[in-house]
Every structure is written in structure tokens, then in C-alpha cells.
Structure 1
Amino acid sequence: MTTLTTTRNTGRSAGEWMPAASLVLHARDGSTHFLEPDDLRARLAQIREELRQEVASDDSVCLLPNGKAPFERFLLELLAALGLPNPVAVPDDDTSAAIAQLARLGLTAGALGQERQPRDEPARREVLPRHALLLRTGGTSGRIRYAVNTSMRRTLGRNRRLSLASALGLKDGKRASLAGSIRHAAHLSMLLDALNYDTQVHVFEKPDPAQVLHHIRRDSVQWIVTTPLHLRIMQRQLQDGKGTSDLRTVVHMSAACSTPVKRFWHSTLGAENVYEVFGASEGIGTTVARGDEWEERPGTVGRGFYTSVSVMDSSGRPAAPGELGDVYFKSGTSARPLHVGQRDVVTWTSDGHVSIGDQGRLDTDGYLYLEPRPQLRITVGGTTVLATDIEEALLDVPGIQDAAAAAVSNHVTGQRVVCFVVRDSHGSDAERNALIPALRRVLPPAAVPRRIIEVEAVPRSPSGKVNRTAISEMAQMYFAADVPRKGEEQ
């Protein structure tokens, strides 16, 4: 086991940064807390001093905010920690468990009011890069590990002309909202960027997709960062004819957005006001596609934002335009560890490009098109279908609030599709019986589910992605022995 430590921070302290924005914090109990800039700065300075006393001069200790603290305190501890030279980890609710997990990985971690766990010295040490932020990731695969992000904290106090938020239409005076969890890289990165603006930023402890449109209307939100799941739900809710109030700009990230949903929002707000952002928790690079760019090149996730994007074939040579290969990003960082704990395959080139396994294509203008990841593919009788296509078809059915598809083994076809759905309370038996026949009209035969099971909730990550590992385990639990019954379809 190795210990991860930091190099000593001898340059300008990130602790000198102070936010320009005001915060509106929406707690899970329904309460709302307002933090104006002067109050926010004073609170952050106080908590930074508490953290300094906690770790003394040891800037190798990984700081964690108290995940069980009230939301306002949790967020302030997180922002205060990010202004110190120490590495910072973002925990789930159970901070003690996170400290113990990091200790097993060879990293000393501590939180305010919690005793440090004793540990044995490892045989060798690795250096955790300066500005490191550890983010729990693996939301799609379910294989949780910590991504080592070294770029996000540089957002604090950055020249706004270089900021992603500026490229996405955020300006001083706009009312902004983050509809997803700040415990996830996508929304946390946008929060840190937005804090540099003289704006009001709404942040949610436990975002509820069903309440986003209500919040937009009530608080006159003009600029929002959201996910495709939120956009689909809001699309349905807009059937009440009340519109989107002052909303002018939508930024969606965290997962792929279906074409019908994307085009609905293009027509609602104007394609030039809808942005798709693709990136990774590891902070290796970002692409941006504005809606009008996407309309000219359907399916693209855009071009690199201060990021060089390349696609290489299996021999490591640049792929021709339109040719499938491994996607590489380069954004000014040198080769370094990208994960702590469960590690994925990471490939660095000699000139600083890095791939974490995504595949895709580039067109002649440098726009990137991603291939669906393997965990989304289901092969039935030699035909490959995508779980996301099946889910989109289910979500188009009235009364289906959420859905996820998975594969189970089948001795005849190799795999078959099973689905889990969340219904509203008004579903009738007739509607249930009509569901699979309805899907047969819009899906190819291989994609039609063998069975559809109603559940209370679909397991999703904080960013809104379906947890594919959890869904697969649910499918195996229901169909441990997939033996056809008399009269049942093969």
C-alpha cells in the first residue's frame, strides 16, 4: 500500500481567494439560507482558521468537510478547505467511513471535530499533485473510487475571460442555479466558477428533478446547470403552458441527452442558448457544444475548451476523420495518477495526451462524437441494442417517471432485456398490460424487454446517471435462473 502526500505549497496561497457571488442554499428539510458576499467571506475565513488549527502545518493531511453537518456548514467547510494548500476530498454523508477508506488507501485524512485514525507507515510514498481534489466517481459503472482532479481548484479567482462559465453565457447580475449535487464533479466545478461572478447562485442539498421547473419559476432563474434527466422532466411539466419564466440559458452535462429532448429545448430557448458540456471527474479536459453547433452536427459533444482533443487507432497513430478510435485529451497537465483506489486503464502519451478509455470519432472540423460505453450495450441474438435507447422509449410513455434497462443471460439468445420502471400513482392495470405491446411499435425486436418490473426508485448517482452495476445486480437478483416458463417468449 502506498501513501499519497502533497508537495509543499510555496506559491501564492489559494486561501487569498474570496467569492464575489451570493449563495442561496436549499436544504433537504425545505429551509432556505442566504449568504451575502461579506457574510460568506467572513464565515470562510473563520472556518479556514479552524482547519489550519486542526492540521497545524501538515499540508499532506487530506481535508474533508463534515458530511453529516447541516448543509450550510458542509458547503462552507468544503469551500474553506479548497482555499488551503491541503488535498481535499468530497465525502458522502458518512465522513468517518470516508476517512477510514482513505486511510486504507494510504492517505491521512481528517475532518473538523473528528479524531485521526492511527495507521502504519507504508513501504513507499507517492506524491499527490498540488491542488489535488479527490472526488468519488464511478457513477455509471458503480465501481466507486476517487478521481484525482488537479484543475478544478484553479478556477478559484481565475481570470473570468478564461472561465468555462463565461463561455457558457454566465454574466454578472444573472441569477444562476445548479440543479444537481455539488458532491459531483460537474456541478461542483460550475459552482467554483460561478463564485467568481457578482451573481446569485442557488445550490441544493438534495436536488429533486421534479421541483426544478417550480424553482426556476419561483426564483426567476436565468442561467441553470442541469442534467438530461431534469430536462426531460421539465419538458413534460411545461405542458401546463406557464412557460419557463426568466430562464434564458441551459447548460446540460453529466450524461448523454436524447435528440428529442435536446431539440425541444433548442426550440424553447433558442439553440444558441443551450450548451452541452462533456468532461471527466479526473479533470483531464472539456468539450463544449452550443446548440446551434449541434444542430449542424447532430450527435457531437463539441470541440475542446482549452483542451486539445485527438483520436488514435490501436497502434497509437492519429485516426483519420470519421474513424473510430480512443479519445485523448490534453489540457496542460503532465502525466500523473488519476485515481486512488479502484483504478481504470489510463494511457498517457509522450506529449501529454491522456485517455481514460472512451472511444469516439473526430470530424474534419475537430468536433468529437462519442461511442456508447460498453456497459450500455446489450447483445440479443447477435443484435446489439443500447440500454439508453430502451430507456428513452419507456420515458416517452405517459405515466413512466423513470426507467432503466439491463441485460440478463439467456440460453437461447445470449442476453435478453429486462427493465425497471417508476410509475406515477395513477397507472392502471390496462396501461401496464399495454406497455410491452407499445414498445414493440417503436423498438426493434431485440430491444423489447422480456419483463418490466415496477420499483420505487431507479438507482442513480448524485449526477443523475443510472448506476449500471446496481441495475445489473437487480436484474440478476430477479432472474438468477432465466429458464423460460411454458408459453413465455424466448
Structure 2
Amino acid sequence: MAVPAAASVRDANRYRPPAVTGLVDLLDAQVRERPYARALVVTGERVHLSYRGLAALADGVAARLGGTGLRRGDAVGLICANTAEFVVALLGAARAGLVAAPLDPALPAPQLAARVHALGARAALLGPAATNAAPLPVPAWPLRVDVSRAGTAAVAFEPGTCAAPQGSGAAGELSSQDALVLFTAGTTERAKMVPLTHANVAASVHRLCLTYELGPGDATVAVMPFFHGHGLFAALLASLASGGCVLLPERGRFTAGTFWNDMRAVGATWFTAAPAIHEILLDRSEREYPGPQAQALKFVRSGSAPLNPATQRALERTFGAPLLSAYGMTESSHQAASEPLPGRGVLKHGSVGRPTGVEIRVLDRGGRACPVGVEGELWVHGPTVARGYLGDREETAYTFVDGWLRTGDLGILDADGYLSLTGRIKNLINRGGEKISPEHVEDILTGCPGVADAAVFAVPDTVYGQRVGAAVVVRESEGVGPGEILRYCRDRLAAFEVPDRLELVTALPYTAKGGLDRKAVQARFAP
């Protein structure tokens, strides 16, 4: 469904995205031109930290890292929540010529240790919440940032020294051109290590700022975790590069109960989140959204997983702002496509917009381009695409082909170049030869009145090989039952797509990135 576009508040011919070359100079223009402007709002007291103050803290960390024996291009783990410590450590490591690998501090200790070992990191920087973590296979150095109410700040960081590199792990493939190593979503065994160069970072930040016309007048609240591309690139790096302000919630994590107060405190003009968080905010909006007293938003952004069009429309009505869906992967330095700002193109509910600084092709199984409107696998090419995976030549050879990233995602392009996602190849359910996209069935299920969330999975079957199962979360006040949900599905799905098994549940498992944890869904509901 196309939505008429309203006039933009900015002249596209006037807007110029920031010029950065990577993480090293991300703050430089702001420090020169607006040194005392807000960069971060931190702690439960919502203290302002200026660009000049943030840069000084990062330089201090960089100087201390220089005496540890670490060399340019060495990898260091970064185990921290969305706090000032994360930002200071990340930028400090970059200014010291190191490659930062953000890790989820909530991971079990054996998984953290396994990832640090697989990478071959020579040390780990620990935020406050991670200082009591189990021993790691490398030196672990706590880092703390203290910010006074007056905005003065100091960093407590006393690193030791590193032993000579042992040559183990995948870090031998890194160089001083690299900025980050991000782990893809998954278990320790399945997660892949994606090296991103400073040039990848610069290209990603450039396109994010250009797509949303981010500037010094913008502010946001950090909702998504910084150890994944969504929160790191879209909320943090793009905001800092463009001179905006980011509020870091107390204790460094999203809390629905304080979200709108945080938005008001920072004067937020936009925010970005995964569909699961949008659903939470929508469900709680009747009692928590401040309505006319809320800060006027330019736009709201959704990524990390497909957003149901019905939810998109409800969010737009509730928040009074356009909801822009975006698409990307860790391997493409986050964003590859997005719906445009109002005034820059039409909004098409159900799509993820047009390519942003990359080329996207839809190819069939033979590698041929699919006609407009025909489903195929999405391939991405451009300056944000990584060179491959660390320590995995076989997977690199399969996924990265002549500079193209084969995503494993299925989708279609329309005549206007808008992309619609239809599923993932590895998730397809094979019911007697009929290939079924769980994502498509979930989209229909969540469109049913009273359904808040849904997960579709394969159920083993001796006759058809697999049948369709569904776990559905319903809103308590709606009182909808399985019979009504299935009738809704039969009117909108092919007969072979209608769930053979449907179970009402109270909640579904999600990954830290905000996507449905399909492995957990399969284990919990399929047997």
C-alpha cells in the first residue's frame, strides 16, 4: 500500500552528509565546529557529555592502550552494555589503531571465552556490568567513566601489558585498515566473525545520515544493543558523525517503562528498533505514550526483522510519524535498503524501500536475474559489503562471490525498485514438495485481530516430510481463539500454508538482536 508523502522539513539539495573516513575521525568535525554540543546523555541523572569531553576520554584510553604492547591491527574484545564506557572504549581502541570486537555481556561465560579465543583477541575491555565476568583466556581490563552533574568527565582505566601474540585465532587475518569485528547472530558454534574496515564504516555512516538527513538538530534514545550493527551503526555512529545526541538509558539497556521519559529528556526526533520492541511500545501505548505532550518525531525506523504492515500502520497512527522499514545484514555493515523520508519518495507498507548506496539483485537458483515481481535470492554489492568471514574460507567462498554478498534472503523488487522480503531460504518448510515461507505465514497470522505475535516452524511428518506449526501470542483483552485465527488464515493463505498445528503461548523467544530465535522456537514447540 502506497502512502502519500508529505513535504520534508529539509531541502534535499542543502543537506550534506558528514565526511568521515572511519571510526578514528568520527568525532573530529564536531569537536572542531561544536565542541560543547551534547554528544551523549548518560546515567540515571541524564548528565550531558559534550563532543569535546567524549573525544578527550577516547584519547585518554588510546594513550593508555599504547603502552600495553598491543600493535596496530590487533583485536580487542569489548564486553559492555550501552553505556558511556562502551562508546569511550570503542573510540579509544580505534584511535589506538586497534580492532574492536563488541560482545554481548549477557552471554554465558563459556560462550564469551569461546568467542574471544576464536577471534584471537589479545585483550578485553570490560564495562562496569562485566567486571565480575568469569575469567577470559586473555587479559581483561576494567574501564569506568565518571561524569559529574556539571558535565566534567574522567575515565578510570589502568590496563596491564599483553604477552607476545601466540598466533592462535582468526585475528591474524586483520590489519590496521580494519575497524571492527562483529559476530553474526547465533550460538557460539554458528556465529560468524565479520571484519569491517574503516572504509566500510564510513560508507555505512554516510548512507545512514543521507537516507534520514541526520544532523545536529537530531537526537535519539539507544534502544538496540551496540554489539550488533543495528544499534551500533544506526543509533550510535550515525548520530555522532552527524552531530546529533544519543541518550544511553540507565544501566545501558532498553526499558519500556522509562522509554518515553528518556525520549522527552533528550528531545528525541527519531528512534530505531526491532519489530519486537515496536510491538511492546504499541501494546503499552494506551497507558504510557504521552500523546500530545510527546516530542514531535520526524520518523521512526524499524529493522533487524520484518515488520508487519498492520503494525506499521498502527505505529504511524499512534506516534504521528512515518514508520520507515529498513533492511540490512552484519555482512553489509548494517543497512542495505530503506524506505525514504517523506518528500523523498512514497512509503510502501510491506516493503523495506529502495537500495541505499548499494546495488541489490534478485537472482534465481541458476544465478539469473528475476523479472520484476518474481521471487529470488537477494545479492548485495557495494562499499559497505565486508570482504568475507574470519577463519572460515569455505563459508566465505560460498557467501562472497566477486564482491557480491549472497544474503540467503528471499525477496522481490517492484517496478519502482522497492524491495519486499519474503523469507529466508534456510527457513523454508517443505510440505510434500510445496515450499512455504514461515515469514509469510507469520505476516498473515499477526494481521489477525487480537494476535500480538507469531512464530511458524516445521513439524516433522511421516507422510509429507514436514507440516506447518505455529505458536501464537494473543492479546489478553481480545479473547481470540485458535478457531478464529485459523479461519482468518484460510481466507488469506493457500491450503497447504495454513498451520496444521496452532498453539497459543504467552511469549516467544527472541535473540539479543531483536529477531525471532528460530532455533529456540523449533526446540520448544516442534516436538
TM bracket (short chain) = 0.7 to 0.9
The Cα shift of 1:259 comes to 1.1
1:71 to 47, 71, 83: 83
The match for 1:51 is 65
The match for 2:6 is none
Matched-pair contact (CA < 8 Å) for 1:176–1:223: yes
Does residue 371 of structure 1 match 2:422?
Answer: yes
1:172-199 Cα deviation digits (max 9, x unpaired): 1222223211121011002111102333
Aligned residue pairs total 450
Does residue 458 of structure 1 match 2:508?
Answer: yes
What is the identity percentage for the equivalent residue pairs of Structure 1 and Structure 2? Answer: 23
Provide the C-alpha distance between the structure 1 equivalents of 2:183 and 2:336, rounded to a whole number of angstroms.
19
The match for 2:211 is 167
Provide the C-alpha distance between the structure 2 equivalents of 1:472 and 1:267, rounded to a whole number of angstroms.
34
Amino acid of the structure 1 residue aligned with 2:101: A
The match for 2:482 is 436
The match for 2:327 is 278
Matches within 5 A, 1:148-297: 148-150=195-197, 154-155=201-202, 162-190=206-234, 191-204=236-249, 205-209=252-256, 211-213=258-260, 215-217=262-264, 219-240=266-287, 242-243=290-291, 244-267=294-317, 273-283=322-332, 286-290=336-340, 297=348
Provide the C-alpha distance between the structure 2 equivalents of 1:290 and 1:13, rounded to a whole number of angstroms.
25
- Give the 3-state SS of the residue equivalent to 2:237 in structure 1: helix
Matched-pair contact (CA < 8 Å) for 1:326–1:355: yes
- Give the 3-state SS of the residue equivalent to 1:282 in structure 2: helix
Matched-pair contact (CA < 8 Å) for 1:300–1:368: yes
The match for 1:4 is none
1:287-314 Cα deviation digits (max 9, x unpaired): 1212768856553322222212223344
The Cα shift of 1:231 comes to 2.5
Provide the C-alpha distance between the structure 2 equivalents of 1:131 and 1:393, rounded to a whole number of angstroms.
42
Provide the C-alpha distance between the structure 1 equivalents of 2:262 and 2:386, rounded to a whole number of angstroms.
42
- Give the 3-state SS of the residue equivalent to 2:78 in structure 1: coil
Provide the C-alpha distance between the structure 2 equivalents of 1:123 and 1:62, rounded to a whole number of angstroms.
10
Gaps of 5+ in 2: 1-20, 31-37, 126-138, 141-160
Provide the C-alpha distance between the structure 2 equivalents of 1:255 and 1:144, rounded to a whole number of angstroms.
18
Gaps of 5+ in 1: 1-11, 480-490
Provide the C-alpha distance between the structure 2 equivalents of 1:98 and 1:167, rounded to a whole number of angstroms.
36
For the aligned residue pairs, the C-alpha RMSD in angstroms reads: 4.1
Does residue 473 of structure 1 match 2:486?
Answer: no
- Give the 3-state SS of the residue equivalent to 1:358 in structure 2: strand
Matched-pair contact (CA < 8 Å) for 1:276–1:288: yes
Provide the C-alpha distance between the structure 2 equivalents of 1:80 and 1:312, rounded to a whole number of angstroms.
42
The match for 1:23 is 40
The match for 1:299 is 350
Provide the C-alpha distance between the structure 1 equivalents of 2:169 and 2:286, rounded to a whole number of angstroms.
62
The Cα shift of 1:371 comes to 2.9
The Cα shift of 1:213 comes to 4.2
| Cα distance change on mapping 1:95 and 1:154 into 2, 3 Å | farther
Larger displacement relative to structure 2 (318-327 or 46-55): 318-327
- Give the 3-state SS of the residue equivalent to 1:105 in structure 2: helix
Amino acid of the structure 1 residue aligned with 2:67: Q
Amino acid of the structure 1 residue aligned with 2:55: R
- Give the 3-state SS of the residue equivalent to 1:278 in structure 2: strand
The Cα shift of 1:257 comes to 1.0
| Cα distance change on mapping 1:237 and 1:294 into 2, 3 Å | farther
Amino acid of the structure 1 residue aligned with 2:326: V
The match for 1:482 is none
The match for 2:16 is none
